[in-house]
Chain A
Amino acid sequence: MAEKGSTRILDGNNAAAQGAKLSRVQVIAAYPITPQSPVTEKLSEFVEKGELDAQYVAVESEHSALAVCTSASTVGARAFTASSSHGLAYMHEMLHWAAGARLPVFLACVNRAIGAPWNVLNDQQDSISQRDTGWIQIYARNNQEILDSIIQAYRIAESVYVPVMVCYDGFVLSHTEMPVNLPSQEDVDRFLPPYKPHTILDPANPRNYNLVTFANPRVNAEGVLCHGYMELRYLLQEALQNSRETIIKVGQEFGEAFGRTYSSTLWANRLDDANTVIVAMGSLVMEATVAADILREAGHKVGVLGLRVFRPFPKADVVKALEKSRLIVVFDKNISYGLEGATCSEIKSALYGSSVRAVIRNFIVGLGGRDVKARELVDAVNRSLLSAKEDDLTREYPEWICAI
């Protein structure tokens, strides 16, 4: 199907704001932080001009921003927030809360490094540090995917009652303009029905939500056996496990409605005959395809696997995509200190017990805005090809592309 709507040249932050507007968000609460600030500025402008019928709640911190969003979501409003880096870290407690309360709140994470030392530039340490909070995490490669993923995120979140975070690289996408197709409001309305909350605070029917919950199940005043804390945690895990199906279905339907399909949890680029696979996430996937072009020209069978959905981690999809690989080179814009890059760990864990017996190399790149060039990715792959021996499947620690 051909693309509909209108195409404009937008930076990532503007694309995010447009995505929120098209999703008809009803409550926005966010605290400005570089590089996310323009998202909040744009949305407050929409509300001020009457182009978006939403409450813009000015807050004094990110913690309060997400507290406002969870409250709004509890009473049945579609809520939006955005943050980066230290702001996201400050939200940490409320991230757990939103997921635990099963509120389909949305958060745009404009990926930025975390101090010390101070740094406003891009890496993915901020969102990776929040991977265990029970949120679905989707990473965008470009500005079109930011807008599209936000619209899909509300459909996903409101179907499975799990909050969704769409992550995109600070500056590299947030401040870089590129063509973005804006779907029409009518088409988005048809795709995204109004939010139906599973909780609703209503004076006529008072309920207690997220009250003190003991370790063991208990019989409530109505004589019904209710979940203890652990059963509720199980249900959150189950919801994440099962959400893959919803993510795919929503992505397919998005394709049918708008002509851009998101029918996989991954982006596969020339994997069919590839025995060497580059793995990356976010905008780095784009640069990686440029590197793969160069390596192909040099005669290597190289493909690129881009992780679109990081939580739930699409284990089976990853195994299938890597089936033919002999060498997997994972580039991480984050580090789990004392171990390795987070996506490398996930890849290894996904491959455990599978028939894939590939050499795995991990490179830490691009921290704190360090530019990552295709030729550097090419070098890293070439080095890995040289060091790839059957008896040297993995290395204890990752290699770093830096000047140390």
Chain B
Amino acid sequence: MGTRDCQHICAESSPAIGEAGKTGEWRDSFPVIDPEKCVVARQNKPACFLCWLYCPDAVITKTVPIQIDMEYCKGCGICAQICPAHAISMIREQ
């Protein structure tokens, strides 16, 4: 069976969860949020969300509190770098 059935004539896709593959498998360290430091968690209302904005895999939610989808978090550490409250630490996978 060939690929014609997709009916595409150029490369295309719908933005969807998992479109770039199981990126969680790329992770060699994972982010851990310290609710004592995260501004959103401490104030218990929408605030900051810089990590949500910067996460290249869009796996951080814009919710109170924030949540990370560990199935697709690739462990890049950008969230930890960008957090002004130093609320995220990267822990090596065992």
Contact = CB atoms under 8 A, between A and B. Distances in A.
Interface of A: 100-102, 161, 198-199, 206-211, 213, 217, 220-222, 224-229, 231-232, 235, 239
A239 B10 CA distance: 12
Contacts of A199: 10, 12
B16 A221 contact: yes
Interface in B1-54: 1-3, 5-6, 8-19
B14 A231 contact: no
A226 B13 contact: yes
A102 B14 contact: no
26 contacts: A101-B10, A161-B9, A198-B9, A199-B10, A207-B13, A207-B15, A208-B13, A208-B19, A209-B12, A210-B10, A211-B11, A211-B13, A213-B11, A217-B3, A220-B6, A220-B16, A221-B14, A221-B17, A221-B18, A224-B6, A225-B6, A226-B6, A227-B8, A227-B11, A231-B3, A232-B11
B61 to A, nearest CB: 19
Interface of B: 1-3, 5-6, 8-19
A209 B6 contact: no
B3 A227 contact: yes
A161 B9 CA distance: 9
Given A224-B5, A226-B3, 20 more contacts: A101-B10, A198-B9, A206-B14, A209-B11, A209-B12, A220-B13, A220-B16, A220-B19, A221-B16, A221-B18, A222-B14, A224-B6, A225-B5, A225-B6, A226-B13, A227-B3, A227-B11, A231-B2, A232-B8, A235-B9
A217 B14 CA distance: 16
Nearest to A230: B3
Contact of A226 (B8, B15, B16, B18): B8
Nearest to B15: A206
A134 to B, nearest CB: 12
Contacts of B17: 221
A209 B10 contact: yes
